[in-house]
Amino acid sequence: MSETQTQTPSAEGVKLNGLYAFKEGMATVYNDKGEAVPVTVLRYETWKVSQIKTEEKDGYSAVQLAAVPKKAKNASGAETQHLKAAGFESGAQYVKELRTEVPADLKLGDSLSIDSLAKGDVVKITSTSKGRGFQGSVRRWNFAGGPATHGSKFHRRPGSSGNRTWPGRVMPGKKFPGHWGDETITVKNVVVVDVLPAEGVVLVKGPVPGSKNTLVRLVKG
């Protein structure tokens, strides 16, 4: 883990309508009523403003953010020059953006505050699900399959896929075996259970798609 990743993120900085964090795993916390609440632990790194996009110049309003410095040997000249103003000497491993209204006093190099989210906020979470490789149609699409006994020759096959002379082809969208997982998944109406600035941790209720260290976007609303 790099020096930047081991630093405790500061609660100071600019507040936007969301933030990015990394999935750590799941845990259980207890609310004020003594009820057990399953939560996903998200690790927050320090994100810095690397570009400000406006309606006049770019056609939409957004803030570009960068985190985790790259090694100099892995950074191109273009990204090194682009991120120099944000305080990165040799590029960054993660460069993302949040579509939001740009604060009037925002400037390059400002840090994104973990307090952009607060306990009780309802957010929309987007991340990449676990990839499970090539799978058959029964596992991938939850097909029922055929009989297991009595001489049946049909067990876990996808079944008929064609048509008659017309249209004489397989229709688009037919569910076949193939690559399962590794998709962008969005989960709405997720509650922020707690935000711990001193530890750089955000707790959200329930599961979050992806494996450990998966990058997760959290946006209010």
What is the reported pTM?
0.86
Could you list the pLDDT tens digit for every one of the 221 residues in the chain?
Answer: 444 444 445 557 899 999 999 999 999 999 999 999 999 999 999 999 999 999 999 999 999 999 999 999 999 999 999 999 999 999 999 999 999 999 988 999 999 999 999 999 999 999 999 999 999 999 999 999 999 999 999 999 998 888 899 999 999 999 999 999 999 999 999 999 999 999 999 999 999 999 999 999 999 97
Per residue, what are the HEC states of 128-162? ECCEEEEECHHHHHCCCCCCCCCCCCCCCCCCCCC
Under CATH, domain 3-132+185-220 is a member of which superfamily? Answer: Translation factors (2.40.30.10)
Secondary structure (DSSP) of the chain: --HHHHSPPPS-SB--SEEEEEEEEEEEEE-TTS-EEEEEEEEPPP-EEEEEE-HHHHSS-EEEEEEEEPPGGG--HHHHHHHGGGT-SS-EEEEEEEE-PPPTT--TTPBBPGGGS-TT-EEEEEEEPPEEEEE-HHHHH------SSTT-S-SS-------STTT-SPPTT---SEEEE--EEEEEEEEEEEEETTTTEEEEES--SS-TT-EEEEEE-
Peptide bond into 9 cis (omega under 30): no
Residue limits of CATH 2.40.30.10 in the chain: 3-132+185-220
Q: Which of 193, 195, 218 is nearest to 28 (CA)?
A: 193
Q: Can you tell me the distance from the alpha carbon of 219 to that of 208, in angstroms, rounded to the nearest whole number?
A: 14
Would residue 168 be called left, alpha or beta, if left means φ above 0 and alpha means ψ between -120 and 50 degrees?
Answer: left
Q: Can you tell me the distance from the alpha carbon of 51 to that of 169, in angstroms, rounded to the nearest whole number?
A: 48
